[in-house]
Amino acid sequence: MYEFKYHRPATVRQAANLLLKNEDAKVIAGGHTLLPVMKQRLASPPHLVDLSHIEGLDGIEMKGRSLVIGATATHNTVATSAIVGEAIPALAELAGLIGDPAVRHKGTIGGSLANNDPTADYPAACLALGATIVTNKRRLKPEEFFQGLFTTSLESDEIITRVMFPVPKKAAYIKFRNQASRYALVGVFVAKRPSDVRVAVTGAGSEGVFRVTSFEEALKKRFSHKALDGMTVPADGLNGDLHGSAEYRAHLIAVLARRAVEAATAKA
């Protein structure tokens, strides 16, 4: 790890000012992505701005029909929150599937979204549920926020403060884990929303998380796993690597989407 100066702001405004004043400064939340890449010297921010002392940034609450999760809420907090379990149980389950217990005690939702790892879990939930990502500057829809592998539309002095999830009628997330890393080899989040159905896939797309509109249309007509019988997705544009070929991932998407619909209908 290269040397850096450590800052501990008490407010989001102070944190944003530190980012603005110090070129190439980065925020650190749970550090469970940033520290490993700093150790490998793939990142060498000269300034680290620690978000963990900003009060109120990790809250979880209902606001009208939306579940609002603060950026520094850990995966464990989301997984065990009664509010999340009540409003969107699929989201609590997703958080409980991330990494291992120690990772879940440190990793945060804001860090996960800002990192936009193509195999991370939260991006699929955001896209399927139609979440709003709120920063110190603006509100972003997932389509505007996620910009491809490890890329988001966040500006260098922009900080995610919270994520707003409209409560769906039904939802489920099914993850097929990479046996070694525990990240998603493929993960499918299905959400039946008041106006439509969304199917979002992580782990498979060469450009990161994406929606399967053909599945969505079939499920909008009939929200049953049977509506997907015989339906497939093309392997073009999917990742193929030592963990699985693009064809294998395409197959998994269809299988997991069916299971997710089954799980979502079983829950209600």
Partner 1 sequence: MAKISLIVNGNPVNANIDPRTLLVQFLRENLRLTGTHVGCDTSQCGACVVHVDGKAVKACTMLAVMADGHEVRTIEGLAADGAPLHPMQEAFREHHGLQCGFCTPGMIMTAVDLVHRKGNDLSDHTIREELEGNLCRCTGYQNIVLSIAAGARAMAKSDLA
The order of strands in the sheet holding 132-135 is 60-63, 66-70, 160-166, 132-135, 139-140
Residue 4 engages partner 1 in binding (rule: CB under 8 A): yes
**Cβ closest to ligand FAD, residue 50 vs residue 262:** 50
Return d(Cα 43, Cα 29) in angstroms, integer.
Answer: 15
Residue 34 engages ligand FAD in binding (rule: CB under 6 A): yes
Residue 182 engages partner 1 in binding (rule: CB under 8 A): yes
Residue 157 engages ligand FAD in binding (rule: CB under 6 A): no
The answer for residues whose C-beta is within 8 angstroms of residue 51's C-beta and 6 or more apart is: 9, 15, 27, 28, 29, 57, 71, 72, 110, 159
Residue 189 engages ligand FAD in binding (rule: CB under 6 A): no
Given ligand FAD, partner 1, none, residue 102, with its beta carbon under 5 to 8 Å by kind, binds partner 1
Identify the residue among 9, 70, 110, 130 touching ligand FAD (CB under 6 A).
Answer: 110
The answer for residues whose C-beta is within 8 angstroms of residue 34's C-beta and 6 or more apart is: 26, 28, 43, 111
Binding piece for ligand FAD, criterion CB under 6 A, among 3-11, 80-88, 110-118, 193-201: 110-118
**Cβ closest to ligand FAD, residue 28 vs residue 228:** 28
**Cβ closest to ligand FAD, residue 96 vs residue 240:** 96
The order of strands in the sheet holding 184-192 is 170-177, 184-192, 197-202, 210-211
Is the Cβ–Cβ distance between 185 and 243 less than 8 Å? yes
Instruction: State the residues that interact with partner 1 by CB under 8 A.
Output: 1-6, 28, 31-32, 35-36, 39, 48, 50, 52, 76, 99-103, 105-106, 182
